[in-house]
Every structure is written in C-alpha cells, then in structure tokens.
Structure 1
Amino acid sequence: MSTNAASASSDINSLDLLLILLVTVSWGLNYPIMKFVVTSYPPLTFRAFTFTIGCVLLGAYALRSGESLHVPMSERWLAFKLGMPNMVLWHLGLIYGMTLLNSGRAAIVGYTMPVWALLASVLMFKNTLTLRGMMGVFCSLLATFLLARDEMSNFAGQPLGLVCTLAAAMAWGVGNAMMKNCKISISSITLTFWMLMLAAICFIFLALVFEQDRWAWPTWIQFAAILYAGGVTFAISYVAWFRVARKLTPVASGLSIMLVPMIGLIGGYWMLNEVVAVADITALLLILLAMAIVLIPGRKVT
C-alpha cells in the first residue's frame, strides 16, 4: 500500500464508516422508492421536484459552510458538458426505465456504469483497454443479455425499459470518464450544485411540455418519497459522500458503491414484493464481478 493510501485509510473514523453506510443504503433504497412513486405519479414531474429540493438544500449547505458557488467564465461550458451526461441524461433514461422495469433490475443495469466509464475513457481519451477491462465489459454485456432475454421471454416483459436504463448507465459512464479526464478548478460541491440546477431546469421544462395535463398535488406518501429523493439521496448523501471520498483511495471509493445494486434488489423485494428471478441474481453477481475487475487494480510486477 502506498503512503497516501495508508494515511487515507488511517484517517477513516467511525463517523466516516457510518456515512459510507448511509450513502450506500440511501442510494440503494432510492430505486424501490423511485419505482413506487413513478407508478402513480408523473416521472418527469417527480424528478423536477427532487432536483429542485436537492439543489436548494445543497446550495444552502454550501453557503452556510462558506463554499463558493462561483464558476469561472472559462469553465462554465465544461461544467455544462459534465452536467448533461452525469445528471440529466443519466436520470432521464433511468426514470423512464424505472417505469417499465422492476427497481432491482434497474439498479443492476444502472450500476454497469464503471464498465462504460472505462470503455468511454478508451474511446474518447485514448486510454488503454486492458485484458481486465475487456473481461469487465464482457461480464456487463452478459448480465445485460441475461436480463434482456428474461424480459423478452415474459409476456409482460419490458425490453424497452432495459434499453432506457442501459442508455442511462452508458451516459453516466461517459460523464464519469469526462470527470476523470477533464480539469476543472471548482469544488465537487459547487459542481454538483450546478449540475442539480441544470437538471432541475431541464426536468421542469420537460414536465411542462409532456406532463402538464397529468399534474396533481402529491399525496403525503408521494411527497415523503419526493423529500427523501431530493433531501436524502441528493443533498445529504452527496455531502456525506464528498466528506469520505476525499479520505478514501480511488479503489475504496469505487468499491464502496458495489453494494448499491444489491440493496436495490433486496429493497424491491422487501418494499414492493418484486419477484427476484434467477436471471436477476446471476446478473447481479456478474455486475459485481465486472465492477471488481474494473475497479481493483492489478498487482504490479516488481
């Protein structure tokens, strides 16, 4: 282990471990909660609400903690380009995929993202595609194929939902590759605030155009889910993640999200009585294997 990695690990305390648990559980449970809401409430309007709440809360936190929200003129276009795939396209594809798929299946496909980030880095930034990377891509494609075959074999299957969710994961992967390979001086909190602002504007516009005739005041349980998604999933979990991500090594921070699709699958079964098929469990294991292959570096020969 390197000196930096060792010092980073030694800085992790019990509060940090609790925050990692909070992030993992909140992001995992977000999938069945989203599924519950979008089955009875307009999905674009739901997302417009959550992005607005998350933006307001994260902005208030930044201002209270003395974090500048200013973006230099020379970096505003880059911030916009980062926000589109990381926030807008990811959530647009995911929310429509969620209306068609069960929540656990959407979580599994969504977390193929690290593999698509690796592939995007190769195609867009000329990074080398290693044998490990090809193995990760193969595992992700095999998992997606298993789920697609299961969706198409069922009378009520929704392969279009799989396509939307996979496209969302690819967009998120491209956005992550851009984040890793582009230099921007603003803090993660500032960048996330403006990403949430961009997404809020986009989803408010889309809701106005496509869902205005379906608007209704949410019920108390729908409103609670909106507050959870905007307050906990976006604002609180992002702030918690920023705190621990600075201390974790890149491998540790990547591996810490590996339990999210598992919690999404279990949460859908527990909260929504969703059926967990053999294809779901097999695909989940393949995605976890793909993430491990991609995120854990190979041993260097000395």
Structure 2
Amino acid sequence: MDRARLWGIAFLLVTAAGWALNWPTIKFLLPVWPALFSRGVAGVTASILLGLLAVNRGESLRVPAGAWPQVLLAAFTSVFAWMGFATLSLNWISVAEAALLVYSMPVWAMLLAWPLRGERPGRRSLVALALALAGVILLLSGQNGASGRDQLLGVAFALAAALLFAWGTVVNRKPLPLPPLAQTAWVVGVGCAPMIVLGLLFEHPRLDALTGAAAASLAYMTLVPMGVCYLSWFAALRRLPSSTATIAMLLVPLLGTLAAAAMLGDPFGLREGGALALTLAGVALALRGRAHVPTSRSRDPGET
C-alpha cells in the first residue's frame, strides 16, 4: 500500500473518531445547555474559525450572486435540519437510536431519487431499503407504553433530519462554486445562525451554567468535529476515492454508539446491535449503488 493511501486512511480514522465522539459529547451537554442553542453557538464559532483559516490559505470567501439559493438550500438541509434536528432528537432517544436513524439518510436519498429524478431503484437498492427498514423496525420494536410514546418525538426529529438531508442531496446536486473550506464555513454558519435565534427565543439558555466539563464539551464540539475533522476529511479526499471515504464514514454511528455506551451508560444490547448491523448494511449497499452519482455533498458526509 502506498504512503498516500496510508495517510488517507489515517485521516479517515481521525475524522470518524472525532465525529463519533461528538455524539456522546452532545448528549452529555444537553442537560446543561439546550440543543439548538448549544449546536448553534458551536457551529457559528466554528464557521468563523474556518473562514479565517480559508482566508489564511488563500481561499476566497466571496459567494457568487447566483449561488446564494444553493448555499441556503445546503445550509437548511445539511446543517439546520441534519445537525439541528439530530441534536434535538437526543433529548428523547439514545445515541444508538439517533445515530442509526440519522445515518439511514443514503437509503432515503436513493428512494427519493425515484419520484424526483426518475432514477428507478434496482435490485441492490431494494435490498438496501429492505435491510434499512428491518433495522428501523427492530429498533422501534422495543418502544412501548408511555416511555415509547415520549420517544416517538425523538424518532420523528431523527427521521426528519435524515429525510431532509436526503431530499437536499437529490435536488441540490450541482457542486457549490466555492473552495472546500470556504464552502464549509458559509454552509455551517448560515445553517447554525438560526439555531442561536431559536434557542434564545424558546430554550432560554443560562450562560452561567456553562462551566467545567460542560464548557469543555462545547469547546470540543466547536474545535474538533467542525474544525480538525473537516480538515482531516478534506485531506483524506485528496488521497482516496470519495466513494471509499464516504462508505468508511459508516464507522461514525458505530463508534458513536459504542462510545455512548461506554461513557454515558447508554443501552446497547442485542436489539440495538442487530438494528445497527441491519441498517448500516443497507446504507453500505445504497452508497455502493450511488457511488458513481456526483452530488453537491460528495465532499462532506454530514458531521453530527
């Protein structure tokens, strides 16, 4: 194996580990700071830092006038909905449940491409859909009674995150006319800014509550998943095929689930393990089937 490929794999592992650990970090922070506000603050701060880094690297931050609708659509589907709704879901469901539902996105993208773009799913796609649905059904089979009804709200937010992100990948396939870091800075910043506004209006965060471990968690959310991991992701893509890198990101929900079980005591038994295996197998098949199709998100699998 050549050195460039080895470095690419190393960068992928850094990316996957950083994004995976963000799941239990968010779950830990939620009792102290509310979901939308904490995610919004972390995202806007990270976007400013990424913008400064882009300028330092000689990238232009200027967005062509005709590209703003594309930027707004990407910000809504891949940041506000994907990151915001996924974070909200953690108020009611475990990391294993949220990660499984959110990372089922490629399967829904494959399904939505049929009515929206006339791309009829083939046999492999139908098998992928069946596996993913079996995983979701197995996951939800453990919900019953009042607790189960409460968890349905979390399930709804997680599925909404996956479906809206999937819709965005189908309808917004033209690449954004921006360099990678500048694109990430704009999309993350524009998508996260409304979260701060909504958080101030409806969540009423207490600034004095952010101390100690909670402050360290927010710093991690800001610097590692949306800073270090994006840099390592772009570095990996310079050395590996994008299809390989994207499929490798299935490590994120797996590692995130295991980390949450170890760090937070989240439940992870046969039902969760079986559901995760079924769903990720379906997602892997869906990704392989769509590897040749370029999308506007081909350079970013969606940090959560």
Distance 2:241 2:146 in 1: 43
Residue in structure 2 matched with residue 167 of structure 1 by the alignment: 160
C-alpha distance in 2 between matches for 1:128 and 1:10: 38
Aligned-partner Cα distance in 2 for 1:285–1:177: 25
Query: Please, which of 67, 70, 83 is the counterpart of residue 75 of structure 1?
Result: 67
Question: Mind listing any 5+ residue stretches in structure 2 that lack a counterpart?
Answer: 291-304
Q: Which residue, 194, 210, 215 being the options, matches 1:223?
A: 215
Instruction: State how far apart, in whole Å, the 1-side matches of 2:61 and 2:27 are.
Output: 33
Which one of 121, 126, 134 corresponds to residue 142 of structure 1?
134
Cα displacement string for residues 164-202 of structure 1 (whole angstroms, at most 9, x for unaligned residues): 1111111122223344x2243222322211111112321
Give 5+ residue unaligned stretches, structure 1.
1-8
Could you tell me the TM-score, scaled by structure 2's length? 0.88
| Alignment of structure 1 residues 244-263 onto 2, 5 Å | 244-263=236-255
Which amino acid in 2 is paired with 1:53?
T
Q: Show the counterpart of 2:50.
A: 58
Correspondence 1:276 to 2:268: yes
Partners in 2 of 1:164 and 1:281 — Cα distance?
A: 21
**Following the alignment from structure 1 to structure 2, what is the Cα–Cα distance between the partners of residues 272 and 56?**
31
3-state secondary structure, aligned to 1:296 = helix
Q: What is the Cα-based RMSD across aligned positions, in Å?
A: 2.0
Aligned mates of 1:213, 1:95 — CA distance in 2: 15
Q: Is the contact between residue 32 and residue 104 of structure 1 (CA under 8 Å) also seen in structure 2?
A: no
- Identical aligned pairs, as a percentage? 25
Q: In the aligned structure 2, how far is the partner of 1:10 from the partner of 1:297?
A: 27
- Counterparts of 2:147 and 2:69 in 1: how far apart (Å)? 46
Q: Distance in 2 between matches of 1:78 and 1:27?
A: 25
1:27 aligns with 2:19: yes
How far apart, in 2, do the equivalents of 1:54 and 1:204 lie? 14
- SS for the counterpart of 1:128 is coil
In 1, distance between residues paired with 2:7 and 2:242?
19
**Hey, what does 1:182 align to over in structure 2?**
174
1:79-158 superposed matches below 5 A: 79-152=71-144, 155=147, 158=151
Q: Deviations over 1:11-32 (max 9, x none)?
A: 7343322211111111111111
Question: In the alignment, residue 74 of structure 1 is paired with which amino acid?
Answer: G
What secondary structure sits across from 1:266 in the alignment? helix
- CA deviation after TM superposition for structure 1 residue 40, in Å: 2.7
Distance 1:282 1:129 in 2: 25
Deviations 1:101-120 (A, max 9, x none): 11122111111011122223
Aligned residues of 2:8 and 2:237 also touching (Cα < 8 A) = no
- Partner Cα separation in structure 1 for residue 259 and residue 142 of structure 2: 20
8 Å contact kept, 1:143–1:282: yes
1:202-221 alignment runs, 5 A limit: 202-212=194-204, 214-221=206-213
* Equivalence for 1:43: 35
Q: Distance in 2 between matches of 1:221 and 1:41?
A: 12
Structure 2 CA distance for aligned equivalents of residues 10 and 86 of structure 1? 34
> Which secondary structure does the structure 2 equivalent of 1:158 belong to?
helix
Total equivalences in the alignment: 289
**AA in 1 matched with 2:266:** E
CA contact (8 A) 1:45 1:203 kept: yes
Q: Distance in 2 between the 1:75 and 1:280 partners?
A: 42
Aligned residue number for residue 288 of structure 1: 280
SS of equivalent to 2:90: helix
